[in-house]
A = this chain, B = another copy of it.
Amino acid sequence: MAAGTGIREERKLKTRQALLDAALKLLEGEQSFSSLSLREVTREAGVVPTAFYRHFRDMDELGLALVDESVRTLRQVTRAARQGTLPTEQIIRRSVETIVAYVQANRLHFQFLMRERAGGRSQVRSAIRSEVRLFISELATDLARFPGLREWSTEDLQMMAGTLVGVVINALQDVLELPPGRSAEELALVEMVSKQLRLVILGAGLWKSRPPEVSG
């Protein structure tokens, strides 16, 4: 019987999580992941440096685990964001507010994702970027169902989805620069990104999607 089994395992997972949380917390301030030391992380987590090796081979491996964890958070956010996204002004605004609220609630994870997307180790960087690409594709698939977009080429749907996602990502960079509270600046940002999305969607109404030209 394996009834009693799991006390050890449970404690091990707890320490592992403490290491991940410690790293994330240390990244809150000025520090970038690549300048984070193994000893800092274990100190913050309240274990001895050598305990680190029971969980990760090195800091790179912890970095990838942090991407996994953050990406799980990201998926929750984006899934919520795409619930019934009918391109009406009201709904755009509400979606943006939802996304911003989620991101504020998971500041540390998103700060990590945003920073490492541009500047991190290539393994971490490409993991994040492919996650974004995946989300763009999913959005493109969603968009394909809308009346005006049914005959668009896959390429153009990707193009439009990429524009929308890009607008949101740029705005999130700015959101994360702001202090956590729901400030006036944050409301102004929500207002602006909503307008930007509306601008793109208006453009889509006029877009003539042409199939790729075939030369003779």
Contacts and interface: CB of A to CB of B under 8 A. Distances in A.
A31 interface: yes
A162 B174 CA distance: 12
B204 A199 contact: yes
Contacts of A162: 170, 192, 196
Interface residues of A, number: 39
B195 A199 contact: no
A74 B79 CA distance: 37
Interface in A111-129: 114-122, 129
Q: How many copies does the complex hold?
A: 2
A200 B121 CA distance: 33
The CB with the most chain B CB atoms within 10 A, among A117, A166, A192, A207, is that of A166
Interface in A196-214: 196, 198-207
B207 A206 contact: no
A163 B196 contact: yes
Contact of A159 (B35, B195, B205, B207): B195
Nearest to A113: B118
B118 A114 contact: yes
Interface of A: 30-32, 34-35, 114-122, 129, 156, 159-160, 162-163, 166-167, 169-170, 173, 177, 192, 195-196, 198-207
19 contacts: A30-B121, A32-B34, A32-B35, A32-B119, A35-B35, A115-B118, A119-B119, A129-B177, A159-B192, A162-B192, A162-B196, A166-B196, A169-B170, A199-B204, A200-B200, A200-B203, A201-B203, A203-B203, A203-B206
